Structure 1
Amino acid sequence: MEKHIYDEKNGLSYTLCGDYYLPDLVLNEEEPTYGKYGMLRKQFLKEHRPIRYQNLLLSGKLTAHLNQIDQEVTGQVEVLMKQMAEKQSVNENLKRQDQMRWVRLMNNIKVCAEEIVLTEIIYV
């Protein structure tokens, strides 16, 4: 039996270990570049969608997927925050008149916008 073989059908090489051929898989050790929402998505996939996580990881598409999710969620949160702030009349005038009230309202708006987007994009 040969020590190393290559399967042209799937493009993988195999090494003989005992009586079995095991695939020569290598994990890319690249530095992750995704942000907060990418990390949340990764954690969700690990815990609740392990097969999808493994498929993305083994195909080398995990980092690209997490970066895309991070950018998409960041954009959605910003848009929702602007819309909610306009609807609740949280503007620069309020900021000048009562800064603490403005901070409380903006923090509340951010939490609400994140919650909406997380349930629609991250946790699916």
Structure 2
Amino acid sequence: MKKTIFEEMGGTYVRQGDYFIPCLTLPTEKETAINIWGQRHLRYLKEYHRITYTNLLTSGRLNAYLADIDRQAQKRFETLAEQMKQAQGITEQLKDENALEWVG
């Protein structure tokens, strides 16, 4: 019997009933912590960009991609918060002296 392209590349099959199912495994990738921004982007990819999500997942790059997005978003958030504090004149001294004034 002639080998399939999958078998020529080193793939194997498992017989289940009358069918041969290819033995597929996802590549392993480094586990990284994905915080709120990465989780939100993951949900966005799953809902609106299924092909991009599937490509990243099957190539083993999803966690690294989400960790990078999470780092970038957290850095942007911190930068914006700092700019807003400076624009409104909020300082640590103001927070210490009058906690209710800087809130409202």
TM-score normalised to structure 2 length: 0.75
Unpaired stretches in structure 2, ≥5 consecutive residues: none
One-letter amino acid of the counterpart of residue 69, structure 1: I
- Report the structure number with the largest CA radius of gyration: 2
By how many angstroms is 1:70 displaced? 0.6
Task: Determine if contact 1:5/1:14 at 8 Å carries over to the other structure.
Answer: yes
For the 8 Å contact 2:29–2:63, the answer to whether it is kept is no
CA RMSD of aligned residues (A): 2.8
* SS class of match (2:66): helix
User: Is structure 2 residue 25 aligned with structure 1 residue 26?
Assistant: yes
C-alpha offsets along residues 95-118 of structure 1, whole Å, 9 cap, x if unaligned?
A: 02321343x36xxxxxxxxxxxxx
Can you list the C-alpha shifts for 1:57-81, whole angstroms capped at 9, x where unaligned?
0000000000100111111111111
**Equivalent residue runs for 1:78-97 within 5 Å:** 78-97=78-97
Secondary structure of 2:11's aligned partner: strand
Identity %: 31
Residue equivalent to 1:70? 70
The total of aligned residue pairs comes to: 99
- Rounded to whole Å, the distance in 2 between the matches of 1:56 and 1:75 is 23
CA–CA distance in structure 1, aligned partners of residues 8 and 14 of structure 2: 11
Alignment of 1:45-124 (within 5 A): 45-102=45-102, 104=103
TM superposition score normalised by structure 1: 0.65
